[in-house]
Amino acid sequence: MNETIKTDVVIIGAGPVGLFAVFELGLLDIKAHLVDILDKVGGQCAELYPEKPIYDIPGIPYITGQGLTQALMEQIKPFKPTFHLGEMVTTVEKTGEAAFRVGTDTGKIFECKAVVIAAGGGSFQPKRPPIDGIEAYEEKSVFYAVRKMEHFRDKRLLVVGGGDSALDWTLNLQPIARRLTLVHRRNEFRGAPDSVNKMRALVAAGGMDLKIGQVTALEGSNGMLAAATVKGNDGSLSRVECDAMLPFFGLTMRLGPVAQWGVKMENELIPVDTAAFESNIPGLFAIGDINTYPGKLKLILSGFHEAALMAQKAYRYVYPDKKLVFQYTTSSTSLQKKLGVA
């Protein structure tokens, strides 16, 4: 059974701009749900540079990527947005005047009055190793994420990588796998020391194998793996028989499904007008790094401005019969009530 959620606006992407959109919409009494493929909020700020400084947020001389994310979360708290993390929006359809249906890869369906695409540089997706023919195995015997552990019971598994994802899944899957081999390009692991120790203990006890090298070729048929070739650092090749491979090489930003929603795109960006940051489809907005217009700068501050203007136009779709009165947060009691300070 698909769950259907009714709300005013769905924001696709919980990067800094998507988060601030909650604030601007909230001031206008517009409720929002946010969906992000990452398991955390903050987009590029949280995923790519949490510890690095940002110096050009107006009024804030210095803040880290993570610091800004936390500050935004604090700022939007009064509006109680609902987050759907670890989910990718796969479909967006306009179903009527001020009516959209938005679907995610976990089968959730939203019905809303306007959609805000704040998808930044696209969705963060796993890096795909450059192995000839790997596409044929993907989602059949090569997986970049574990959705159901049971799927791997009694299989011969190849886990590739040296970070926490590779180590965690090694430790989680080792007990149920028929045989597990961890492949990493060097004998040092950057993952949590405790996980590294547990993994090494399993190797010492003969419970799993560790191979130092890089996977260079795959064998199999009809999408089902039979074996992988591992090239050692001395150039030697070895063959590891396996039923499934799980490569963990981190994430990269790819445009993803945005291109399939029928919205007009130019060089992987969504052209918008600069009065409301609306796409060619009325009610479908694009703000932040994903949009383009003459003079566009991919800066957080530009995204914030775009969110404010977007909200004014979104109001007309959500409350077609009401008239919007411009107010300041400094002096408006009604805005302050919404913010929980009056």
DSSP-derived secondary structure letter, 120: T
Which DSSP state fits 58?
Answer: T
Nearest to another protein of 121, 303 (CB atom) = 121
Q: Binding to ligand FAD by residue 300, rule CB under 6 A? A: yes
SS3 (DSSP) at 19:
helix
Asked if 15 and 42 touch (Cβ cutoff 8 Å), the reply is yes
Instruction: Give the nearer residue to ligand FAD in terms of CB position, either 166 or 290.
Output: 290
Q: Which residue of 7, 10, 11, 16 would you call a contact of ligand FAD, by CB under 6 A?
A: 16
The CA–CA distances, whole Å, from 104 to 31, 43, 52, 223, 324 equal 19, 18, 31, 25, 32
Query: Three-class SS of residue 315?
Result: helix
Number of residues that bind ligand FAD (CB under 6 A): 37
Among 185, 198, 211, 338, binds another protein (CB under 8 A): 185
213 belongs to the binding site for ligand FAD (CB under 6 A): no
Residue from the set 67, 78, 103, 163 that interacts with another protein by CB under 8 A: 163
Q: Does 283 contact ligand FAD by CB under 6 A? A: no
Residue 145 C-beta: closest distance to ligand FAD, Å: 14
* Shortest distance, position 265 Cβ to ligand FAD, whole Å: 13
User: If binding is defined by CB under 8 A, does position 329 make contact with another protein?
Assistant: no
d(CA 17, CA 20): 5
User: Quick one: which of 67, 78, 86, 129 contacts another protein (CB under 8 A)?
Assistant: 129
Q: Which of 16, 26, 121, 257 binds another protein (CB under 8 A)?
A: 121
In this complex, which beta carbon is closest to another protein, that of residue 49 or of residue 83? Answer: 49
Distance CA 65, CA 46 (A): 6
135: exposed, middle or buried (Cβ count in 10 Å: 0-12, 13-18, 19+): exposed
How crowded is the C-beta side of 294, counted as CA atoms within 13 Å? 1
Residues 6+ away with beta carbon under 8 Å from 312? 28, 276, 324
- The residue type of 72 is L
Long-range CB pairs of 273-282 (<8 Å, 24+ gap) are 274/309, 275/309, 275/313, 276/309, 276/310, 276/312, 276/313, 277/306, 277/309, 277/310, 277/313, 278/310, 278/313, 279/117, 281/94, 282/317
CB of 124 to ligand FAD, least distance (A): 4
| CB of 53 vs another protein, minimal distance in Å | 10
Closest separation in Å from C-beta 17 to ligand FAD: 3
Interface residue with ligand FAD among 26, 81, 120, 191 (CB under 6 A) is 120
Instruction: Write each residue from 236 to 275 as x if it is in contact with ligand FAD (CB under 6 A), else as -, in one continuous string.
Output: --------------------xxx-----------------
- Residues engaged in binding ligand FAD (CB under 6 A): 12-18, 35-38, 43-45, 48-49, 54, 56, 88-89, 118-124, 256-258, 288-289, 298-301, 303
